[in-house]
Structure 1
Amino acid sequence: MEDDKIRVGASSMQGWRSTMEDAHAIYLSMPNMPGNIRDEDAAIAAVFDGHCGSKFAQSCAAKIRDWVTGSVAFKQRNFEKALKDAFCSGDVALHKAMPSELSGCTGNCILIVQNHLYCANTGDSRAVLCRNGEAIALSEDHKPSDPAERERIMKAGGFVQAGRVNGVLSLSRAFGDYAFKDMSLKPEDMVITVMPDVYHTELTPQDEFVIIACDGVWDMMTNDKAVEFVRNEVADHGDVSLACERLMNACLASTPSAYGADNMTVIILQFKSSFLKKVESKFTTEQLPSEKLASQ
C-alpha cells in the first residue's frame, strides 16, 4: 500500500497464542479535511492490542478514522484535541454498545497532517520515529509501575499490586475494561483511563520511517534495535512489508513456553522523497500548533 507521500508495510502474527487479539487500521487520506488542507495530505494509522478478547481492538480499528474526523476539534484544526476527543468519545460509544464486555485494548495512533505528525497513545503499544538513523520515541508506555501512573491510579481510588492495577491489569490505560471504570466520571479521574497522551513533532527531511507496534515486539526489542533492524531490512530489500514480517520473526520465541510468544502487529510508514521535499518547504499553509516531542 502506498500513495504519493508514504509507503506502508503492515503485518500481524498470532505467535504461540491460541487466539489473535490485535487489530490495526491504515488510511492514506482523511475525508473532509478542514481549511485548505487537501484530504490526500493527511493519513492515519493505528495499532490496537486486545486483551481478554478481540472485540475492542476490532471495533477501534474499524471506527478510529470516523471518531477523529467527527470531532469538533478536528474541524477547528486542533488535531491534538481531536485525537484525545476521539479516544474518549469512542470509549463511551463502545460502552453503550458493549456495557457488560470485560475485554479491552490498547491504542497507538499516528496522524499525519502535511508536515506535522501526531501520536496518540493509550496503553503499552508504541510508536518510534527513525530520524537520520536515530530512534525517537513518539510515545511512552502506560504501566502501573510508572510512578506518575501509580499516583494517578491511587488518586482515582485504585491500587497497584505486583505491577498490576488492582492486582489484575498489567497496563494502566485502555479502551474498555469497564470493570475498572466509573463511566459517570471524567476519563482522567478513572482508575483505568482511555485518555491518551498526545505528542507532536514537525517532520523533517531527515525523517525516514515510523514503526507502530504492540508490546509483543517491544518486549523483545528496544527502540534502537528495532529502528536499526528495519533500516537494514529496507536498505537490503526495499520492501517495508517484508521488513514487518522479519521484525516479528526476530521477536518470536522458538517455543510456546519461552518469552516472546505474544500476538504481534507491526506497521511501518516509510516517507517518500517527494513527500519529504514538501516537508522541507513546510507545504503552503499556516503552521499548526506544536507540542514537544516525547523524550526517548
Structure 2
Amino acid sequence: MGAFLDKPKTEKHNSHGEGNGLRYGVSSMQGWRVEMEDAHTAVLGLQTPGMTDWSFFAVYDGHAGSKVANYCSKHLLEHIITASLGAGGTQDSHVGSDGSTGDSQAPPPPAVEIVKAGIRAGFLSIDEHMRNFSDLRNGLDRSGSTAVGILLSPDHFFFINCGDSRAVLYRNSQVCFSTLDHKPCNPRERERIQNAGGSVMIQRVNGSLAVSRALGDYDYKCVDGKGPTEQLVSPEPEVFVMVRAPEQDQFIILACDGIWDVMSNEELCEFVKSRLEVCDDLEKVCNEVVDTCLHKGSRDNMSIVLVCLPNAPKVSEEAVKKEAELNKYLETQVEEMLSLSGEEEIPDLGTVMRNLSTDSGMPPLPPGGGLASKRSVIEAVYNRLSPYKEEDGSGADLECHW
C-alpha cells in the first residue's frame, strides 16, 4: 500500500455527461502509486421504474488492490436499488448496473426513509456478496475500498459515506455540507474496534489499516460473535439526507483522500468555483484539480467527480480577462528570469517556482490553488526557453507546496 513509482503517471482518465438538470465531469490519475486502485460511478437517470429522474455518482478508493473498488463501481448501485425496492414492498425484479429493472409499470418513487434503509442494506449486501468470491474468501486478494457517493432525487440529496473519501456540497457560495471521514481514532469508531478485540495504534486499525469503515478488507471482518457492523472494520455507510435548494445549490464534489490530503473543503470548493468562472468544460476543471493536487504534493491516486447543478457558477468575462492577465504576467516573469541568467546559471524549474512564490507584485492567484495551480503555464514557458526540460510534469520540488 505504501509503494511509489520513480516518477508519477500523469495520464488522466476522463468522462462527462449531462441530463436530469445536471452536468458532471470526472478526472482520475494514478500519480505516484504503483497501481491505480480508484474507481468511480456516474449514472444520469436511473432506468428504474419511478426513478428515471434520479441520478447516482460515487468514488471508490481501493487499497491493497483494485478488485473491490472496481466491482463496487459496477454493482453497488444495483444492490442499493434492489434493497430499496425490497424495503418498499415492491415486487422483486432484476436490476442492472444502471439501476434498470424489468418492470413494465412504473411505481411511485420510494420514500426517503426507505431509500436510507435501502442504501444501508445495499452496502451490507454487496459486502457479503463479495466475501464469497474465492480469491477474497481464501485471502489471495486482501483488497478493500472506501465509497463516497450521492443519490440525487428531484427533491433530496442522499449523501453516502463509508471510509475517508469525502463529499461536499457548495451552496450559496459556501461549503454547506461535508461527509465525515471514518478514521480509527474517532471515538465512536475506536469504541467499536476495541469492542471487537482490536486496537488503534498510530491512528490505524491494529496499526495497519488507516480507515475504520470500508467494503472488502475481510481480514478485519472475522470476529466470531460479532455482526457485520460490529467488526474491526464496518461496511456500514453513514447516510445524510438534505432537501435540495434549487436557487442556492451550486455544485457537489466527490473525491478520494488523494485530493483531500492537500486541499481543505473550502480550498477545493473555492478553487473549483474560480475554474468554473473561466471554463465550462467540466473535464478540464477536474483535470486542473488533479494536476494542482499533484503539484501540492499528493502522493496518492487521485479521483474527483464534479456534479454541477443548475445554479452553478457561470463563465465570467471579467474572470476570463483576469485569468489571461495572470497567465501573461507569469509567462513574462519566467521569460525575464531565464533571459537574465547566463548559460551556466540557468535555474531549474523548482528555483523558478520558488522565486515566483516570493513575487509581491503578482496578480491574485486562483483561490485554493495558489501557484501550484499555475504550474502547467509556468512549465510550458520554461520548457520552451530552457534546455533543462521537465519531462514528467511533476518536478523534483514537490516539498515546496506553493
TM-score normalized by the length of structure 2: 0.64
Listed one character per residue, the Cα deviations across residues 157-184 of structure 1 (whole Å, up to 9, x for unaligned) are 2110111101110110111110110276
Q: Is the 8 A contact 2:196 2:223 kept in 1?
A: no
Q: Is the 8 A contact 2:20 2:54 kept in 1?
A: no
Q: Secondary structure at the match of 1:53?
A: coil
For residue 95 of structure 1, what is the aligned residue in structure 2? 131
**Rounded Cα–Cα distance in structure 2 between residues aligned with 1:154 and 1:91:** 22
Listed one character per residue, the Cα deviations across residues 236-260 of structure 1 (whole Å, up to 9, x for unaligned) are 1122211111111111147xxxx41
For residue 43 of structure 2, what is the aligned residue in structure 1? 27
From 57, 64, 74, give the equivalent of 1:62: 74
Query: Relative to structure 1, is the Cα distance of residues 135 and 107 closer, same or farther in structure 2, using a 3 angstrom cutoff?
Result: same
Query: Relative to structure 1, is the Cα distance of residues 272 and 170 closer, same or farther in structure 2, using a 3 angstrom cutoff?
Result: same
What's the offset of the Cα at 1:273?
5.1
From 167, 181, 201, give the equivalent of 1:161: 201
Q: What are the ranges of 5 or more consecutive residues in structure 1 without an aligned counterpart? A: 275-296
Q: Is the 8 A contact 1:180 1:191 kept in 2?
A: yes
What's the offset of the Cα at 1:54?
0.4
**Rounded Cα–Cα distance in structure 2 between residues aligned with 1:213 and 1:152:** 26
Calculate the aligned-residue CA RMSD, in Å: 1.7
Query: Relative to structure 1, is the Cα distance of residues 90 and 124 closer, same or farther in structure 2, using a 3 angstrom cutoff?
Result: same
**Rounded Cα–Cα distance in structure 2 between residues aligned with 1:136 and 1:10:** 22
For residue 49 of structure 1, what is the aligned residue in structure 2? 61
**Rounded Cα–Cα distance in structure 2 between residues aligned with 1:268 and 1:16:** 23
Q: Is the 8 A contact 1:111 1:117 kept in 2?
A: yes
Query: Relative to structure 1, is the Cα distance of residues 147 and 30 closer, same or farther in structure 2, using a 3 angstrom cutoff?
Result: same
Q: Is the 8 A contact 2:259 2:293 kept in 1?
A: yes
Matching of residue 217 in structure 1 with residue 253 in structure 2: no
Residue identity over aligned pairs, in percent, reads 37
TM-score normalized by the length of structure 1: 0.86
What's the offset of the Cα at 1:138?
3.3
Q: State the aligned residue count.
A: 266
From 121, 124, 138, give the equivalent of 1:85: 121
Listed one character per residue, the Cα deviations across residues 37-85 of structure 1 (whole Å, up to 9, x for unaligned) are 441x100000000001100000000102211111123655311111111
Q: Is the 8 A contact 2:58 2:254 kept in 1?
A: yes
For residue 128 of structure 1, what is the aligned residue in structure 2? 168
Q: What are the ranges of 5 or more consecutive residues in structure 2 without an aligned counterpart? A: 1-16, 91-109, 313-402
Q: Is the 8 A contact 2:163 2:212 kept in 1?
A: yes
Q: Is the 8 A contact 1:137 1:223 kept in 2?
A: no
From 211, 214, 231, give the equivalent of 1:190: 231
For residue 210 of structure 2, what is the aligned residue in structure 1? 170
Q: Is the 8 A contact 1:30 1:42 kept in 2?
A: yes
Q: Which amino acid aligns with 2:144?
A: G
Q: Secondary structure at the match of 1:157?
A: coil
Instruction: Please say which of residues 96-105 and 83-92 is displaced more in the overlay.
Output: 96-105
For residue 7 of structure 1, what is the aligned residue in structure 2? 23
Listed one character per residue, the Cα deviations across residues 4-60 of structure 1 (whole Å, up to 9, x for unaligned) are 411010010111111100000010111224xxx441x10000000000110000000
For residue 260 of structure 1, what is the aligned residue in structure 2? 298
Instruction: Please say which of residues 224-233 and 183-192 is displaced more in the overlay.
Output: 183-192
**Rounded Cα–Cα distance in structure 2 between residues aligned with 1:135 and 1:141:** 16
Q: Secondary structure at the match of 2:209?
A: coil
Query: Relative to structure 1, is the Cα distance of residues 93 and 183 closer, same or farther in structure 2, using a 3 angstrom cutoff?
Result: farther
For residue 285 of structure 1, what is the aligned residue in structure 2? none
**Rounded Cα–Cα distance in structure 1 between residues aligned with 2:303 and 2:268:** 13
Q: Secondary structure at the match of 2:193?
A: helix
Q: Which amino acid aligns with 1:31?
A: Q
For residue 327 of structure 2, what is the aligned residue in structure 1? none
Q: Is the 8 A contact 1:126 1:214 kept in 2?
A: yes
Instruction: Please say which of residues 129-138 and 104-113 is displaced more in the overlay.
Output: 129-138
Q: Which amino acid aligns with 1:209?
A: F
For residue 292 of structure 1, what is the aligned residue in structure 2? none
Q: Is the 8 A contact 1:31 1:69 kept in 2?
A: no
From 115, 122, 134, give the equivalent of 2:155: 115
**Rounded Cα–Cα distance in structure 1 between residues aligned with 2:122 and 2:236:** 10
